Amino acid sequence: MSEYKKIENAKAELTCTLEGENWEKAKSSAFRKLASKVEIKGFRKGQAPKNLVEKYISNNEVLLDAAEALAQDALNKGVEEHGITLIDRPELKIDEISDDKCIMTFVCPVLPDVKLGDYKKIKYKVEKTAVEDKEVDDQIADLLNRKADLELKEDGEIEDGDTAVIDFEGFIDGTPFEGGKAENYDLVIGSNSFIPGFESQLIGMKSEESKDISVEFPADYHADNLKGKPAVFKVTVHEIKKKVLPELNDEFVKEQKIENVSTVEELKNYTKENLLKKKEEKAKDDAETALMDKLAELTEVEIPEVMVKSELDSMVQNMEQRMMSQGLSLAQFLQITGQNAQEFRDSMKDEANKRIKINLALQEIANAEKVEVNEEDLNAEYDRMAGLYGMPVEEIKKYVPEGTLKDDLKLQKALDLLKK
């Protein structure tokens, strides 16, 4: 038997009464467990008569052990009975304990109270999109640029767009600094990959020419020891390579091996369709973001710190995984950006609060609108994920439990309701 009541925002009490046969069995089991550890002279360990052992074991010890043995099961049953969503481990208090019964209370961290605004008035508007001819031309020009060959300039000087093969070494106050030196470095002029002013000063230089280039590191440069410092780079040009674009014709198009695209006209149509699809997807994403931002504005909720910490942990972990896929560790990223781990977490705190608020609002809407997720919904989503990741459904279920997927689909259905 259990009773449940909210005592304050994000905190509730679940009171469970243990008595009768279950309580008697728990006490007997606790006594046997304690008795097995008792050593009495003249008897093997755990083999002494009960009436003798009772003198060495306090009844209070038996009762507390029995309560501890039943606590988790009592909590699980209470959570299921009252539909409680725990957001952290509860605190256990023993209110009353005797041979007849045990009354225990779990102080439960639960989902906070959510006050929804008039969410039904939120508008979901996807902006209309179109693709201009210039956008198509720019996209194809970019393709030609990526497929261009580099041709060595025997004579001539560096121009914008050329690739210069250079040696360089940087000095501050006449002293070389770490990371400021390289040999035979390929630098694309106009790529803006170096300090502002560096690339432009290379324009006009010729092969085997040397020059001192004066620049100033930006005030927000990632390395603290270089921020805002004036520097001189000694540069030598070894080679100059000019980019030679391929000719846009049907032969070039065929070489790209794009399915059902073999002519320049088909490439333009294909490019336009792709651009339009991307714009439409972005328009939908922007509309959804605007909708959720408005939902967050209309929602009042006091978010417990434990939820913020959990969301930040998840965000940091996801960010770390994305960085690893790009060959960068979190420690390297922090070094580059000049942050420590706490500053990095703090920078994401507002976004974490916003995500939590939106999720809580969607849960509240799902409850208000009586949103249900059935077996058909679950199976369809598992099939979709299996196709997306190229894995069997049973394998997907190991990574995405049914309960988790059901909660996610419930939120998605609530969002779909808002869009309608």
Number of domains comprising the chain: 3
Residue range 144-171: average pLDDT?
93
Which of the residue ranges 29-33, 50-54, 117-121, 391-395 would you say has the lowest mean pLDDT?
A: 50-54
Mean pLDDT, to the nearest integer, of 284-289?
96
My answer on whether 329 and 410 are in the same domain is yes
Looking at residue 208, which CATH number applies to its domain?
A: 3.10.50.40
The pLDDT of residue 333 is: 86
What share of the chain has pLDDT > 70, as a percent?
Answer: 96
Looking up tokens 């046969």, which residue turns up? 21
The lowest-confidence range among 127-141, 202-216, 257-271, 328-342 is 328-342
Residue 188 has pLDDT above 70, yes or no: yes
Query: Is 90 exceeded by the pLDDT of residue 221?
Result: no
Residues 24-69: pLDDT tens digits? 999 999 988 888 776 676 566 656 666 666 677 789 999 999 999 9
- Shared domain for 330 and 218, answered yes or no, is no
Residues near 18 by Cβ (< 8 Å), separated by ≥ 6?
26, 67, 70, 74, 101, 102, 103, 104
**320 versus 54: which is more confidently predicted?**
320
C-alpha separations of 189 from 241, 266, 357 in Å? 10, 33, 47
CA nearest neighbour of 231 among 277, 303, 177: 177
Question: CA 107, CA 8: separation in Å to the nearest integer?
Answer: 11
Instruction: Give Cα separations from 242 to 148, 209, 239, 353 (angstroms).
Output: 10, 17, 10, 51
Secondary structure (DSSP) of 207-250:
TT-EEEEEEE--TT-SSTTTTT-EEEEEEEEEEEEEEEPPP-SH
Q: Is residue 3 very low, low, confident or very high in pLDDT (cuts 50, 70, 90)? A: very high
Give whole-number Cα distances, 62 to 4, 19, 187, in Å.
Answer: 27, 15, 78
287 class by beta-carbon count within 10 Å (0-12 exposed, 13-18 middle, 19+ buried): middle
DSSP 325-367: HTT--HHHHHHHHT--HHHHHHHTHHHHHHHHHHHHHHHHHHH
**Mean residue pLDDT across the chain:** 92
Q: Are residues 400 and 320 in the same domain?
A: yes
Give the C-alpha distances (Å, rounded to integers) separating 327 from 78, 143, 319, 321, 339: 47, 26, 13, 10, 19
In a domain, 412, yes or no: yes
Structural domain contains residue 117: no
Q: What is the pLDDT of residue 52?
A: 63
| Per-residue tokens: 410 | 């419930």
The domain spanning residue 97 has which CATH number?
A: 3.30.70.1050
Of 92-96, 240-244, 331-335, which gets the smallest average pLDDT? 331-335
CA distance 80 to 205: 76
Give the model's pLDDT for residue 42: 59
Task: Using the predicted structure, report yes or no on whether residue 420 has a pLDDT greater than 90.
Answer: no
* Residues 203, 158: Cα–Cα separation, whole Å: 5
Contacts of residue 135, Cβ cutoff 8 Å, sequence gap at least 6: 275
Q: Is the pLDDT of residue 154 over 90?
A: no
Residues in the chain: 420
60, two tokens: 């209070």
- Statement to judge: residues 206 and 314 lie in one domain: no
Q: Cα separation of 321 and 302, whole Å?
A: 30
Look at 57 and 158; give whichever has higher pLDDT. 158
Mean pLDDT on 330-358: 91
Question: Region 402-416: what's the mean pLDDT?
Answer: 94
Residue with tokens 């070039």: 252
Give the domain-ending residue among 244, 273, 308.
244
The pLDDT value recorded for residue 46 is 58
- Of the candidates 210, 239, 238, the residue with the CA atom closest to the CA atom of residue 151: 239
Q: Is residue 163 part of a domain?
A: yes
Single out the residue in 244, 267, 301 at which a domain terminates: 244
Phi-psi region of 370 (alpha: psi -120 to 50; beta: other; left: phi over 0): left
